[in-house]
């Protein structure tokens, strides 16, 4: 069977896709083409279309949908031809619809933007559907976008959206007095937004079922293209954001010193843990010409490349001021004067702390422009004190008024400078880590070297957050003043107060006590110590932290020439040492809260407990080392 629509369709398909589309009057019984579709009209088979191979760049699903659409339209044309060759008008209409399909195939390629061709599609639709006007419209949070064959008011388009929405999927309205006939089809979208195809004022008085079928097929195709376009736009934006974050991370990393000076009697260590969105954190340490150290920590408000660029400016200006012998307060004032116009214009600001340390005299001078309160562990007080801000942040006012603070540190003191990503870290319940959380870490970890203290703080923040993602950079810089008689090895730790964490104690002990040859006697000694410290940790978790979910256990293993020590800090309920007997005991007579603690007194040489104000408990354990040979 031959027909002009058939020949033109086969030719158009070959021109568009580069592969042959085959027609047969009866479906093949034995052939196995890649895709095939039977053509039926009024229940009668009028032929079949098939593909022996998929067109390039077409998925199987895309090819199948186009083949079915071609089959529907061709079946209508061929069926009408079979019924009556005299129905030339219907055949011509079907041919026009196939021509429209051909144009849609040309326009809606996978990489095309439908809005570049929507007006052309609207004009073609008005010709094919024999209507006065046609419109393709899309609406989302950005507003209304539409293209029409002829001028159309936005209010009318909105009314068509409402009509289709009220009808569900398809609105088919006859002409009424003062209102033309209307066929509206919702465009199916899997992405955000709503879209419709609207056909207005049929020249035949009313739209027919065939019009609806073609309009629904067209809506499906346009919906696919719109979804692809939206996903492509989102992917492009995501890749652009990823690229910007990579650049910002590179800028931020370039601001960090590759190594920190380590003058005699002073240890320095620092770390920046970037969040998912890179912020403006930085730290720096410069050696001044008089032998002093200039220390900087700062945080520029904002995320991404803008924050990273301003971080470069702030850090460079502050560094230059310290190298030019400005005092910490004067360095902040001059930096504010230089950068205020730019910070004010972009409605942003920066916090910063500048500190000067004389390693020989241990004299410290600092000034802080709105930066997060820092901490100083004071050995003499066995407690931390606060280094508070002395001025407003940089960029708030044209002139910055600041003051400086002075103190003389002692051997064993620890100065902890950090960003608000530490103290403002939240857990799943929304509770922040806070100054108390940082102080808890220092109570346990302060004897350790600077690098170990930095890691303990990061571990503390991680144990507090657990599965909660970090929303801000976590920056820590620790200055440790040397202390007499240090241990051979330290291992501070912070663990979630959960029984599942107890096996970690064995691993932590191995970090400080791991002899090259583990003899049976050493293995027995180590096993007994692990048993004792595990019993202590279990007692703290079960009883001190009873009904206190989300708590943490802070501790420190230390190895000396002849002793192994362990210290723990917790914020739980106080312990009544009178409940635990110290001599030989009958386990059956032990109260519940003292059941495991006698092991401590039988294994460890020293067991001490004290309550630290306002609400901390401190356990100190010691055991003499066994002979290693």
Q: How far apart are CA 576 and CA 573, in angstroms?
A: 10
Q: What is the pLDDT of residue 25?
A: 79
Model-level pTM? 0.67
Beta strands in 187-253 (DSSP E): 194-202
* Nearest of 287, 289, 281, 293 to residue 255 by alpha carbon: 281
> Tell me: domain 256-486, CATH 3.20.20.80, correct?
no
| Mean pLDDT, range 369-385, rounded to an integer | 96
CB-based burial, 7-39: b 16+ in 10 Å, e otherwise: eebbebbeeebebebbbeeeeeeeeeeebbbeb
65-78 mean pLDDT: 79
Instruction: Tell me which residue has tokens 């895309």.
Output: 62
3-state DSSP helix/strand/coil % of the chain, to nearest 5 = 40, 25, 35
Chain centroid offset of residue 113 CA: 30
Instruction: Write down the pLDDT at residue 193.
Output: 87
Span 265-315, pLDDT tens digits = 999 999 988 776 666 789 999 999 999 999 999 998 877 777 777 888 899
568-604 residue pLDDT tens = 999 999 987 665 555 544 444 544 444 567 888 889 9
* Domain 487-629 classification at class level: alpha beta
CA angle 529, 532, 534 (to 5 degrees): 105
pLDDT at residue number 108: 52
User: In this predicted structure, what is the pLDDT of residue 484?
Assistant: 72
Picking from 589, 572, 570, the residue whose alpha carbon sits closest to that of residue 580 is 589
If we measure between CA atoms, which residue out of 419, 433, 70, 377 comes closest to residue 252? 419
What is the average pLDDT across 433-451? 96
Report d(CA 415, CA 334) in Å as an integer: 25
Per-residue model confidence (pLDDT) at position 60: 84
- Sequence-separated (6 or more) residues with CB below 8 Å from residue 84: none
Helix (H, G, I), strand (E, B) or coil at 257: coil
Q: What is the mean pLDDT of residues 530-549?
A: 93
pLDDT band at 105 (very low <50, low <70, confident <90, very high): low
Boundaries of every domain in the chain: 256-486, 487-629
- Output 608 or 120, whichever has higher pLDDT: 608
Residue-averaged pLDDT of the chain: 85
Say whether pLDDT at 107 is over 80: no
pLDDT at 230: 79
State the pLDDT at residue 59: 80
Instruction: Report the 10 Å Cβ neighbour count for 466.
Output: 11
Which residues lie closer than 8 Å to 129 by C-beta, 6 or more apart?
Answer: 183, 199, 202, 207, 211, 214, 215
The proportion of the chain whose per-residue pLDDT surpasses 70, expressed as a percent, equals: 87
- pLDDT above 60: residue 561: yes
- Report the percent of the chain where pLDDT is more than 90: 51
According to DSSP, the residues that pair with 269 across neighbouring strands are 478
Residue entry with tokens 């310290």: 322
How far, in Å, are 88, 282, 419 from residue 475 at the CA level? 79, 7, 5
The single residue listed with the structure tokens 């002075």 is: 406
pLDDT of residue 89: 47
Instruction: Inform me whether the pLDDT recorded for 503 exceeds 50.
Output: yes
Task: Categorize the per-residue pLDDT at 464 as very low, low, confident or very high, splitting at 50, 70 and 90.
Answer: very high
If DSSP states are collapsed to H, E and C, what string results for 329-362? HHHHHHHHHHHHHHHHHCCCCEEEEEEEECCCCC
The stretch 109-126 carries a mean pLDDT of: 70
């Amino acid at each position: 069977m031959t027909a002009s629509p058939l020949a033109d369709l086969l030719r158009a398909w070959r021109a568009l896709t580069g592969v042959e589309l085959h027609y047969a009057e009866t479906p093949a019984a034995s052939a196995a083409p890649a895709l095939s579709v039977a053509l039926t009209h009024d229940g009668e088979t009028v032929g079949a279309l098939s593909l022996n191979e998929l067109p390039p760049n077409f998925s199987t699903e895309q090819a199948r949908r186009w083949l079915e659409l071609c089959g529907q339209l061709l079946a209508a044309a061929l069926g009408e031809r079979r019924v009556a060759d005299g129905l030339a008008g219907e055949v011509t209409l079907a041919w026009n619809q196939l021509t429209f399909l051909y144009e849609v195939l040309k326009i809606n390629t996978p990489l095309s933007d439908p809005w570049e061709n929507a007006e052309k599609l609207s004009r073609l639709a008005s010709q094919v559907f024999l209507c006065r006007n046609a419109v393709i419209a899309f609406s989302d949070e950005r507003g209304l976008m539409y293209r029409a064959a002829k001028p159309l008011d936005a209010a009318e388009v909105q009314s068509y959206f409402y009509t289709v929405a009220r009808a569900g999927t398809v609105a088919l309205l006859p002409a009424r007095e003062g209102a033309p006939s209307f066929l509206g089809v919702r465009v199916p979208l899997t992405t955000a937004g709503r879209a419709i195809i609207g056909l207005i004022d049929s020249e035949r008085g009313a739209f027919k079922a065939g019009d609806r079928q073609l309009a629904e097929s067209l809506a499906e195709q346009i919906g696919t293209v719109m979804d692809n376009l939206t996903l492509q736009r989102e992917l492009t934006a995501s890749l652009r954001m990823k690229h910007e974050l990579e650049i910002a991370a590179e800028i931020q990393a370039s601001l960090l010193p590759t190594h920190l000076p380590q003058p005699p009697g002073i240890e320095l260590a620092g770390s920046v843990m970037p969040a998912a969105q890179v912020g403006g954190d930085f730290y720096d340490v410069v050696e001044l010409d008089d032998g002093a150290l200039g220390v900087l920590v700062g945080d520029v408000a904002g995320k991404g490349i803008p924050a990273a660029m301003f971080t470069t400016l702030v850090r460079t200006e502050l560094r230059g001021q310290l190298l030019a012998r400005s005092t910490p307060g004067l360095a902040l004032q001059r930096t504010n004067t230089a950068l205020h116009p730019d910070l004010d214009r972009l409605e942003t600001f920066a916090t910063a702390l500048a500190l000067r340390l004389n390693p020989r005299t241990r004299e410290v001078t600092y000034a802080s422009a709105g930066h997060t309160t820092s901490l100083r562990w004071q050995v003499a007080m066995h407690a931390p004190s606060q280094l508070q801000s002395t001025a407003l942040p940089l960029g708030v006012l044209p002139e910055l008024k600041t003051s400086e603070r002075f103190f003389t540190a002692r051997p064993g003191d620890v100065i902890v400078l950090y960003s608000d990503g530490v103290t403002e870290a939240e857990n799943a319940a929304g509770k922040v880590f806070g100054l108390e959380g940082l102080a808890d870490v220092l109570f346990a970890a302060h004897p350790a070297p600077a690098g170990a203290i930095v890691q303990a703080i990061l571990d503390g923040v991680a144990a507090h957050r657990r599965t909660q993602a970090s929303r801000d950079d976590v920056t820590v810089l620790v200055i440790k003043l040397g202390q007499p008689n240090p241990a051979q090895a330290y291992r501070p730790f912070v663990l979630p107060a959960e029984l599942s964490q107890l096996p970690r104690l064995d691993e932590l002990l191995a970090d400080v006590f791991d002899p090259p040859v583990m003899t049976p006697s050493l293995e027995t000694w180590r096993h007994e110590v692990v048993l004792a410290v595990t019993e202590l940790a279990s007692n703290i978790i079960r009883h001190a932290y009873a009904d206190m979910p989300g708590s943490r256990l802070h501790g420190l293993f230390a190895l000396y020439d002849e002793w192994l020590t362990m210290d723990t800090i917790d914020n739980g309920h106080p312990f009544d040492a009178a409940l635990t007997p110290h001599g030989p005991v009958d386990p059956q007579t032990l109260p519940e809260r003292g059941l495991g603690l006698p092991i401590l007194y039988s294994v460890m040489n020293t067991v001490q407990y004290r309550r630290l104000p306002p609400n901390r408990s401190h356990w100190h354990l010691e055991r003499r080392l066994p002979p290693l040979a």
